[in-house]
Amino acid sequence: MPDVVYLGYMAAFCTTCSFVPQVLHILKTKDTRSISLGMYSIFVTGVFFWLVYGIIIKDAPIMVANVITLALSSTILIMKIRDIFRERKDQTATQSTTL
């Protein structure tokens, strides 16, 4: 494996590691209120593009970094979307009982 690939893996390790605590915090507290749906959607799309880019140019560090980040960030995005639907359902239920 050429030396530059090790550098890529070090980069991947650092940027993925620094993302993990935030993800674990959200998974633990199940609180997605501080997450912006718009920003997170753009981020997940970007990570998906990086992954496809890595696959096309056959770059292992880019693939590894983005497959992990995509798994983590899309989990949070799904939780956020689920919470939005739950809130709407609760609001509809409250409106029905007050009518």
The answer to the question of residue 60 lying near its own copies (CB under 8 A) is no
Sequence-ordered list of residues with C-beta below 8 angstroms from that of 41, at least 6 positions apart, any chain:
77
Integer Cα distance of 87 and 99 in angstroms: 18
Question: 51 near 63, Cβ under 8 Å?
Answer: yes
Closest distance to its own copies from the beta carbon of 15 (Å): 4
Integer Cα distance of 26 and 34 in angstroms: 9
The answer to the question of residue 21 lying near its own copies (CB under 8 A) is yes
The answer to the question of residue 84 lying near its own copies (CB under 8 A) is no
The answer to the question of residue 74 lying near its own copies (CB under 8 A) is no
What are the distances in angstroms from CA 71 to CA 3, 5, 21, 32? 27, 22, 14, 17
Nearer to its own copies, 19 or 83 (CB): 19
The answer to the question of residue 43 lying near its own copies (CB under 8 A) is yes
Name the residues that contact its own copies, by CB under 8 A: 4, 7-8, 10-19, 21-22, 36, 39-40, 42-43, 45-47, 49-50, 52-53, 56-57, 59, 61-62
